[in-house]
Structure 1
């Protein structure tokens, strides 16, 4: 495929901002793509795909390019390394001078012998993963460097999975039915321009993530709380499972995320959802013992979704993991009080670390806050075994 200097320059600019200015890859790519309205769909796809490709293997590419990049021209070289290894022929541009496949192959063989280079991961994170997952860590890392599949959740408030499949086929988008409400897209296309999306027939949601809401066993007519709702993917799933009946409270400390949820809820036809920003501890204290069901999709390291957010591994540090684990324990201890006797709670993360998952649940159950709670269900999802994002779901019930 032929590419142009403007495309590579856009990728280099995005990479420089991601690694030197700390911007998030998804936001930076969106900014770059909006900066030039003249870019067509192929240009946009090329820039997005190869920016993520370099981010994913940043450490390996920097090693092969001769060291950490400092200037924009250094990021051009990282892009050149990436394109060569992807099978592209580099043009005779001065920015790519000295880059050739023969030299790369020689250096690549030695680099691939070291897991931290081969999988492009910080040393400390590799050590932590090995400690936490043992023999599962190496295949997990490899799977997390693969491109994530595109999975949809049919919105049963408006359509069945087969009806969604038919509607998408009318726009030339082929899907395959998975379990429950999930459909996997077989070829990447712009789903947001489809009539099915505008009509609210589906939401983008990974298959592993789709396991959290059903695990809560919410029923129509109940008071259900999504206590870490964010932009509300799981809130929307819960509304469908509740058939729009009962009360569904969506809480989050970030009011702007709930604003996004309200927009999504209108498109999805959700009518039983009440967004409430958590502006003080009074918000949750007033709900003590009120809820039939509470979903806690807590803040986490995000290590289970590195395929979607590969820059996260370069923004994490040991103290960040420590803070996240402490925050999880605090949320689990305080927010579980909202469940009334006989009610149920789901604790979920998009992490693969037992420290954030099974161990966190075990510590809660052994604590004073965990008295009266019983673990009913616990499941970890690993990308190499289950095929989708790394995820954890557990359900607990409170004695009546």
Structure 2
């Protein structure tokens, strides 16, 4: 593909993303699946423009002087990312063949402003909505700029080793033999980080269930449960089962693991992953219902609540999501999270552990929810996580992770324990 055609492709993708209801990475993947003629270098160049545009949407709009269209956003991203310069870009825009149409006067003026804008507000430099500034500052304080710079980067590809089938050392050797550059994760003892973007679906370690794709932060959430063989553990918001898989491995397939969700449909997506991991016969699944809650009350050594949240910790992966998020929505989610953790606590036995987690960076969804729970439930008390997560600082109500400090997605995890009977 010629450079002009790459610009056109980036514009097409951004238009599709703007109209879609699904995550940006799925739109991008589908675009390239339908255009097999795009080579590896073409995909890399187009992806570079698209993801720069998504991660810098706010600053591009500010720099160009308007709420930029997908077309102007793509062209500004091509300039700001170093793909080309404004004069060369204008020369490409001829409208001939696969080239973009000629620049309008407004587009020419917008691109011309890229080199003239001086200092910008923090929310522009960090590419987040101004309305979220108080929430982000509450969490990060003086670190906000560094964190948002990290959020603008590409998320790593992390794997979790299925210890039911292999050790981390064995998998590292296998991946090296396949030509992949892989290193141990810094914090998770079962994590591996892949350098570069690799397609794993057809590789033997993935197809045969020795590895699963899972961000290191998500792995740490599962480790906070301190699962052991023989325990009874419930994954209360199991979804597609990523953390249930990790818990099953930590339990060595011994004991009882119940994966729950409000929708049976979500749990059905877990089945092929369980089969690949070799634990389909071990993990129970069930939809949450009043009858189940009454039957299982007080039955579990540990209950994991990976609560629905704002997903603000995953902005590296879905940067467009930040622009639809508001403080009111965060408050609504916090109220829901409080209701969910209250319900899940009914399943914890005396002396048992309740682990609450989100992939949110907002304290309103994290520490505030835990503090509110402890006020409503005096029979529960905070449980330090230093033993389960060595080397990570617990703030008294939990552990907060972010891409600048730990190199993970943004996660929060907290553990509380129920008083023993008598």
TM-score for the superposition, normalised by structure 2: 0.86
Partner of 1:277: 287
Partner of 1:267: 276
| Contact 1:154–1:161, Cα closer than 8 Å, also in 2 | yes
* Cα distance in 2, alignment partners of residues 58 and 267 from structure 1: 39
1:324-343 counterparts in 2 under 5 A?
324-343=333-352
Deviation larger for 133-142 or 13-22: 13-22
* Cα distance in 2, alignment partners of residues 30 and 229 from structure 1: 25
* Offset of residue 64 of structure 1: 3.1
Partner of 1:115: 122
Partner of 1:77: 72
Moved runs in structure 1, 4+ residues, more than 6 A? Answer: none
Residue of 377, 392, 396 corresponding to 2:412: 392
Partner of 2:13: 14
Q: Does 1:126 align with 2:146?
A: no
* Offset of residue 215 of structure 1: 1.2
After superposition, the CA RMSD in angstroms is: 2.3
Partner of 2:83: 88
* Cα distance in 1, alignment partners of residues 133 and 102 from structure 2: 31
* Cα distance in 2, alignment partners of residues 303 and 161 from structure 1: 30
1:198-209 counterparts in 2 under 5 A?
198-209=207-218
1:50-65 counterparts in 2 under 5 A?
50-65=49-64
Partner of 2:235: 226
* Cα distance in 2, alignment partners of residues 192 and 50 from structure 1: 26
| Contact 1:248–1:274, Cα closer than 8 Å, also in 2 | yes
| Contact 2:330–2:364, Cα closer than 8 Å, also in 1 | no
Q: Does 1:374 align with 2:359?
A: no
* Cα distance in 2, alignment partners of residues 170 and 104 from structure 1: 50
* Cα distance in 2, alignment partners of residues 27 and 133 from structure 1: 30
* Cα distance in 2, alignment partners of residues 230 and 62 from structure 1: 36
SS where residue 259 of structure 2 aligns?
strand
* Cα distance in 2, alignment partners of residues 273 and 96 from structure 1: 58
| Contact 2:135–2:363, Cα closer than 8 Å, also in 1 | no
Partner of 1:315: 324
| Contact 1:262–1:275, Cα closer than 8 Å, also in 2 | no
Instruction: Check 1:249–1:41 CA distance in 2 against 1; reply closer, same or farther (3 A cut).
Output: farther
* Cα distance in 1, alignment partners of residues 401 and 286 from structure 2: 30
> What is the CA deviation profile of residues 63-107 of structure 1, one whole-angstrom value per residue up to 9, with x for unaligned ones?
3334224xxxx4222111111111122352144636599935533
Q: Does 1:3 align with 2:12?
A: no
Partner of 1:147: 154
SS where residue 3 of structure 2 aligns?
coil
* Cα distance in 2, alignment partners of residues 324 and 35 from structure 1: 37
TM-score for the superposition, normalised by structure 1: 0.90
* Aligned length, in residue pairs: 390
Instruction: Check 1:47–1:265 CA distance in 2 against 1; reply closer, same or farther (3 A cut).
Output: farther
Partner of 1:28: 27
Instruction: Check 1:10–1:252 CA distance in 2 against 1; reply closer, same or farther (3 A cut).
Output: farther
List gaps (5 residues or longer) in structure 2: 95-100, 385-397
* Cα distance in 1, alignment partners of residues 111 and 135 from structure 2: 35
List gaps (5 residues or longer) in structure 1: none
| Contact 1:81–1:99, Cα closer than 8 Å, also in 2 | no
Instruction: Check 1:86–1:249 CA distance in 2 against 1; reply closer, same or farther (3 A cut).
Output: same
* Offset of residue 288 of structure 1: 1.0
Partner of 1:170: 177
Instruction: Check 1:48–1:251 CA distance in 2 against 1; reply closer, same or farther (3 A cut).
Output: farther
Instruction: Check 1:10–1:284 CA distance in 2 against 1; reply closer, same or farther (3 A cut).
Output: farther
Partner of 2:247: 238
Partner of 1:138: 145
